[in-house]
Amino acid sequence: MQMIIVLDPGHGGHDPGAVGPTGLREADVVLDVARRARLLFDAGGHDCRLTRDADAYVTLETRADFANRLGADLFVSIHCNAAESRDAHGTETWYYEGSDVGEQIATLTQSHLLQRCGRRDRGIKATRSFSVLRRTRMPAVLVELAFISNRGEEYRLRHEGFRSLAAVAVYDAVNEWAEVSAV
């Protein structure tokens, strides 16, 4: 089943997102992961679009409007987490509170990220406060791959192997959801 999937690499341009202890920028990591995932989706016969494909600033409203105008089947926002505590670590996936389909996709995404990337499970979480989850009209999730503020996780985020595994995890989760929802 061909789907229109919008991948949203967070931040960009004058908003680098979180910056790791050695200077790695969240905006750069998540753009690379999104590009890798797009290649997988395109090869798998899906129509995959990015909200940004360069180091450019795109407003939260514009990101959601883009997906809504396309009539996307799914929206996945990709981020790296950060915390004041340099010991914080792990992966978490968010969905819009009250969205049963969003919760289903978040559960699959979290599961695949944990299997592929081997990070600590920080769980799936519901929210009404994330603009891109609130404004999109299709099921949407926001993934926090790892803590860029943690030196060990920043090290992993810096490497192509980890980024490829994260991209494959997102791809696998979406395909599993598509198979389950088509039944």
Q: How many domains does the chain have?
A: 1
Q: Is 55 exposed, middle or buried (0-12, 13-18, 19+ CB in 10 A)?
A: middle
In our burial notation (b when 16+ CB lie closer than 10 A, e otherwise), range 85-103 reads eeebbbbbbbbbeebebbb
Residue type, 154: E
pLDDT tens profile 152-168: 999 999 999 999 999 99
| Residue pLDDT, tens place only, 43-102 | 999 999 999 999 999 999 999 999 999 999 999 999 999 999 999 999 999 999 999 999
3-state SS, residue 49: strand
Length of the chain equals 183
Out of 92, 103, 144, 153, the active site residue is 144
Task: Indicate if the pLDDT at residue 132 is higher than 80.
Answer: yes
**179 annotated active-site:** no
- 12 lies in which domain range? 4-182
Answer whether 0.95 is exceeded by the pTM.
yes
Helix (H, G, I), strand (E, B) or coil at 76: strand
The domain that holds 152 is classified in CATH as 3.40.630.40
Q: Is 14 left (phi over 0), alpha (psi -120 to 50) or beta?
A: alpha
